[in-house]
Structure 1
Amino acid sequence: MSTGSSSTPNIPRASTGPPKNRIPAYLGLGAAAIVGYYLYTAGGDPNVAKKEMKHDAASASTTVRDQLPGRGKEAKASVEEAFARVGSEVDSTVREGKNRIAQGQKVLEETKDRAGSKIMNAVDQADLKLEEEAAKAKKSVGGWFGGK
């Protein structure tokens, strides 16, 4: 046996440069898998697969957009703003309606008063005419019997 020196085998290193970036390979593999899935579900028709892919991408985009933080608050704020706007429009319409009703009542009262006074004047004139005619008739009847 040898007494002093131990020898280690001389093995070259596999990589001498910086480590390889494997992300593009993984992304490519994932994209190929997605395309393969859509082609398989479309029965091998690339046009149908393309349409399904666009539909799924649009629905995923809508779902993600709706679930973004603050999106619900914005929708709630816009709904509250719309309700406030509609409420103020309803209030102004009610106010305007009440004003028109009050004006209509005022005009109705004035018309009623004018009509009432005209009717009363006509009744008074008719009554006066009847009294005058009655007085004439009394005089003429009194003349038949020798009265004044």
Structure 2
Amino acid sequence: MSNRAVTYGGVLLAAGVGYYFYQAGGDPKVAQKKAEADATKISNDIQKQLPGSGKEAQKDAEVAGQQISSKVNELARDAKSEANKVDAKLDQYRKDAGQQLDSAAKSAQKNTNAAIDSFDKNVTEGAEKAKKGVSSWFGGSK
């Protein structure tokens, strides 16, 4: 049962972080500020509802705000790390694609040159045969 609770808690936390990143347009600093503002607002609302716990509730809210802030910072670092990994993979894919294109271009050039050489050889042989045939009409021995 506790495993399920941890899973649901993680999903809710991820959804909350995603919500703040979405609202902030992907800027982690803005998302952090919004999360802190919301945490402060929620703690103030809770503080108003608790009788006689003004200073204690305020301290608890500050601790909760700091915990939320540290969690948002941690998630932002993780997101940046993942983004850097994705960028590295994309760079590797670009390099691999470039190498494959260079290889294909060299292969195509090699095949084209071989075809041109073959064509030139056939034309030269055909020209020599035609020259011999024409020379024989006029009495040439070549």
* TM-score class, shorter: 0.5 to 0.7
Q: From the two aligned structures, give the one with the greater helix fraction.
A: 2
What is the aligned-residue identity percentage? Answer: 26
**Structure 2 counterpart of 1:112, one-letter code:** A
Residue from 95, 98, 109 that aligns with 1:116: 109
| 4+ aligned runs moved over 2 Å, structure 1 | 59-67
What is the CA distance between 1:123 and its match in structure 2? Answer: 0.6
Residue from 19, 39, 64 that aligns with 1:71: 64
Residue equivalent to 1:138? 131
- Structure with bigger gyration radius: 1
Residues 62-90 of structure 1 deviation map (CA, whole Å, 9 limit, x = unaligned): 62398523121111111111110010000
Q: TM-score, normalised by structure 1?
A: 0.55
The total of aligned residue pairs comes to 90
Q: Secondary structure at the match of 1:146?
A: coil
Counterparts of 2:131 and 2:45, CA distance in 1: 103
- Report 1 or 2 for greater relative contact order, CA contacts < 8 Å, sequence distance ≥ 6: 2
Which 5+ residue runs of structure 2 have no aligned equivalent?
1-41, 51-56
Counterparts of 2:121 and 2:99, CA distance in 1: 33
